[in-house]
């Protein structure tokens, strides 16, 4: 089961991928982040502020999106494994 540890706006310390648009979020930019834990492993998912604002204005909002994301992330992790085991290629 995936648990959410925290969510909120964070300033990135390195380049990340936006979960919404799949574009890069530059180092030092503000981004909405969600920290999740599954099977003892923590991972963080980021949205650029544009995608976050669009999800609030045009969609169900980030809280409903997080619920959907947790289900998708759990399925993906179970299917793909993780980067440390060599089953998942990390982003460049």
Q: pLDDT (tens digit, 0 to 9) for every residue of the chain, 92 residues total?
A: 788 889 899 999 999 989 888 888 999 999 999 998 888 888 899 988 888 877 777 765 555 666 666 666 666 656 655 544 544 444 44
- Residue 23 maps to a domain: yes
Range of the domain at 78: 3-85
User: How many structural domains are present in the chain?
Assistant: 1
- Residue 68 maps to a domain: yes
- Residue 91 maps to a domain: no
- Residue 31 maps to a domain: yes
Task: Determine the pLDDT at residue 73.
Answer: 65
CATH of the domain at 76: 3.30.1740
Select from 59, 7, 53 the least CA-distant residue to 33.
7
- Residue 92 maps to a domain: no
Task: Determine the pLDDT at residue 91.
Answer: 44
Task: Determine the pLDDT at residue 55.
Answer: 75
- Residue 50 maps to a domain: yes
Q: Would you say the pTM of this structure is higher than 0.95?
A: no
CA dihedral 32, 91, 60, 76 (to 10 degrees): -130
Contacts of 74 (CB under 8 A, 6+ apart): 1, 2, 38
Beta strands in 12-92 (DSSP E): 16-17, 24-25, 30-38, 41-48
- Residue 36 maps to a domain: yes
Task: Determine the pLDDT at residue 89.
Answer: 46
- Residue 90 maps to a domain: no
């Amino acid at each position: 089961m995936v648990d959410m540890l925290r969510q909120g706006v964070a300033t990135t310390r390195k380049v990340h991928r936006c979960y919404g648009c799949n574009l890069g979020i530059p180092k030092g930019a503000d981004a909405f982040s969600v920290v999740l834990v599954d099977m003892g492993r923590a991972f963080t998912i980021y949205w650029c502020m544009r995608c976050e604002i669009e999800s609030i204005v045009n969609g169900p909002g980030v809280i409903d999106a997080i619920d959907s994301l947790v289900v998708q992330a759990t399925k993906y992790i179970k299917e793909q494994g993780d980067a440390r085991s060599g089953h998942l290629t990390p982003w460049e």
